[in-house]
Amino acid sequence: MTVTDVRKDIDALTLTITAVFAAPAERVWTVWSDPRRLERWWGPPTHPATVTDHDLRPGGVVRYFMTSPEGDKYHGFWTIATVDAPHHLSFEDAFADDAGNAAPNMPVTRAEVTLRELGDGRTEMIVASTFPSAEAMEQLIEMGMLAGIVLCITQITPLLAEA
C-alpha cells in the first residue's frame, strides 16, 4: 500500500496524507507536472479527472473537472503559489462552477506537496491540506475528500511503473 499515514488535526485545521513510492522524486514529480498523468490519478476511480488547463508555475492555474458515473461534471482549479521541482508544490484548491468561476459557497483549501527521497530509490510524498475553519474541514471530509484523496493516491503506483 502506498499510503502510509493519514493525520487529521482539527486544532491545526490540517489533513496530511503520506505515501511512499518505489521511484525517485523526479519520477514521482511527473504525476503532478504532466497533465495526462495528473488526470489519471487526481480523480477517484469512480470520478475520473480531465485536466483542461495546466500552468504549473507560480501564479499559474490548473483547471480540471471530475466526471461522475452518471455523467455529472464537478469542476475545480488550483492557483499555483510555489513550485520547486521536483521537491515541492503549493497551491490553493477551489471548487468551481461550469464556467470555471470559484464556487462562493465552498471552502478553498491550501495544499502543500513535498517529495523527499528516502535514499533507497523510494520517495515519500506528503500532501498537507489546510482548511480555513474547522467547519470547512468537516464539510469537505463529510463530502468524501479524505476517502477520495486516499483512493486517488493509490492510483499513482501503476503510473510510476510505466515507461
CA dihedral 136, 138, 141, 146 (to 10 degrees): 100
pLDDT, tens digit (0-9, with 9 covering 90-100), for 3-56: 999 999 999 999 999 999 999 999 999 999 999 999 999 999 999 999 999 999
> In which domain, by residue range, is 45 found?
3-161
CA-closest candidate to residue 127, choices 90, 157, 95, 156? 90
CATH number at 68 reads 3.30.530.20
pTM recorded for the entire structure: 0.94
pLDDT given at position 162: 87
State how many domains the chain has: 1
pLDDT, tens digit (0-9, with 9 covering 90-100), for 130-140: 999 999 999 99
How does the average pLDDT of the chain come out, rounded?
A: 95
Calculate mean pLDDT across residues 158-162.
Answer: 92
86 cis-preceded (ω within 30 degrees of 0):
yes
